[in-house]
Amino acid sequence: MFRAILLEKTGDSFSAAVRELEDDALERHAADGDVTVRIGHSTLNYKDGLAIANRSPVVRRWPMVPGIDGAGVVEASTHPHWKAGDRVVLNGWGVGESHWGCLAGRARLRGDWLVPLPAALDARRAMAIGTAGYTAMLCVTALQEQGVKAGDGEILVTGAAGGVGSVAIALLAGRGYRAVASTGRLGEADYLRSLGAAEVIDRAALSAPGKPLQKERWAGVVDAVGSHTLANACAQTRYRGVVVACGLAQGMDLPGSVAPFILRGVRLVGIDSVMCPMPERRAAWQRLADELDLGRLDAMTTGIGLADAIPMATEILAGRVRGRLVVDVDR
């Protein structure tokens, strides 16, 4: 037996509850997996919140165990690259959407989806990073690969008090960048400065409709918000600056203009963490283990139990969660 959050839907009836499941449930509902992992910790991401709160058609088949992230130890494997006792981490690949996920004591996963857990990290800290932190590393790496250097100017981070934003600020500060945090929760200013933000600004300055071209300020942008915020960030980016987009907390739309791109040479780079190729995943996780200040990581992390993830889903959707939520699946 193992405990899991189980999402069930029949017609208009939906439920999300912690259930005791038989081990053979994984054989029935995750039959394409070839590695069984004893999950030590999971986490709660925005996408998990959508699934648990039934707010968006994230779940593609029922019943479903949510949880797009997990870290733990291999119990059994028929995959040639993994054996019992290996420490692994999982992000994305449709887990928690079309394949049973990691908000559970056990998960049956495909070995091709797994990354070895770096030696410097335990399962809890790996999930404090989670998809949010791994995405933040992909964003910061993209800025550098596009040629944005620490001395080029300020880097705007939107949705800064959330998971992606918190880790992005810590990573940027660690690499010597001047990170400016945009947030709707100005009461979190001290928290953001503790992560390395040089300045904190009100998201209201970016979230309303704006002009196609605005005063140039940003050498680079990490945007987890989308919609008007992303459009305004592009309009304020300096000549040949780089905007990296990875989220849609404000919306999926982009109500902007081509003007920043054709008149200032601004580059807009999209980041997909779900299907990101394995070499880039492994590199991102190793860089996180090498670079991320663990003290800052711990400062942005709150631990919760498995059942707590259900009410916290609506909190993360409402933007009321600071930093990262780590789920101890045994609590």
Bridge partners for 222 per DSSP: 157, 244
Spatial distance between the Cα atoms of 75 and 38, rounded to a whole number of angstroms: 6
Mean pLDDT of the chain: 96
Please identify, among 249, 270, 291, the residue that sits at the C-terminal boundary of a domain. Answer: 270
Q: What is the pLDDT of residues 105-150, one digit of tens each?
A: 999 999 999 999 999 999 999 999 999 999 999 999 999 999 999 9
Q: What is the pLDDT of residues 5-47, one digit of tens each?
A: 999 999 889 999 999 999 999 989 988 999 999 999 999 999 9
* 3 state SS of 64: strand
Instruction: Report residue 320 as tokens.
Output: 């009321």
Domain total of the chain:
2
- Characterize the bridge pairing of strands 199-202 and 13-21: unpaired
Query: Can you give the pLDDT at residue 282?
Result: 95
Q: Looking at the structure, do residues 139 and 184 belong to the same domain, yes or no?
A: yes
* Res 319 pLDDT > 90: no
Instruction: Report residue 112 as tokens.
Output: 């091709």
Q: Which domain holds residue 220?
A: 131-270
Cβ within 8 Å of residue 169, ≥6 positions away: 157, 160, 179, 181, 192, 195, 196, 197
* 3 state SS of 98: coil
The answer to whether position 124 is within a domain reads no
Query: Can you give the pLDDT at residue 57?
Result: 84
Q: pLDDT band at 56, cuts 50/70/90?
A: confident
Q: Looking at the structure, do residues 138 and 11 belong to the same domain, yes or no?
A: no
**Would you say the pTM of this structure is higher than 0.75?**
yes
Please give the average per-residue pLDDT across 147-174, as a whole number.
96
Q: What is the pLDDT of residues 253-284, one digit of tens each?
A: 999 999 999 999 999 999 999 999 999 999 99
Spatial distance between the Cα atoms of 299 and 151, rounded to a whole number of angstroms: 27
Half-sphere exposure of 141 toward its Cβ, with a 13 Å CA cutoff? 18
59: domain CATH number?
Answer: 3.90.180.10
Amino acid at 137: M
Alpha helices, DSSP H, located in 146-264: 163-174, 189-195, 204-207, 227-235, 259-263
Q: pLDDT band at 311, cuts 50/70/90?
A: very high
* Res 159 pLDDT > 90: yes
Percentage of the chain lying above the pLDDT 70 cut = 100
**Measuring CA to CA, which residue among 271, 201, 194 is closest to residue 236?**
201
DSSP class of 152: G
